[in-house]
Amino acid sequence: MIFISASRNLRRAATLLCVVAAIGCSASGAGDLPVPRVASDLVLPLDAYHLAPEDQARVQRARFMLVKDCMRRFRVDFQGPSPGRTRGSAPPSTRGAHA
């Protein structure tokens, strides 16, 4: 008898969960979202992690310093780019590639 009662309560809880989920998915607040007109209007989740050009240059300098130290241990003379010159100052962009 206890098993039947627990099963009935579980079924009621599942039904209530489905009703609450359906109500939450049909909320009318979704119409308030801005509609992007072009791809560059989109703010993507990983945009916050792109490095600024000066930070990207700093990371590249540090990388070449580490490579140079590693190569020196193997007695290889490695010359990286000059300190003032870095390849590409902006992160690669895929925006508008398919628009």
pLDDT per position in the chain (99 positions), as tens?
555 567 778 788 888 777 667 776 665 555 677 788 888 888 888 988 999 999 999 999 999 999 999 999 999 998 877 765 555 545 555 555 544
Spatial distance between the Cα atoms of 79 and 67, rounded to a whole number of angstroms: 10
Dihedral of the alpha carbons of 59, 61, 66, 72, in degrees to the nearest 10:
170
| Per-domain residue ranges of the chain | 51-86
pTM across the whole model: 0.42
**Which residue from 31, 33, 90 is spatially nearest to 57, judged by alpha carbons?**
90
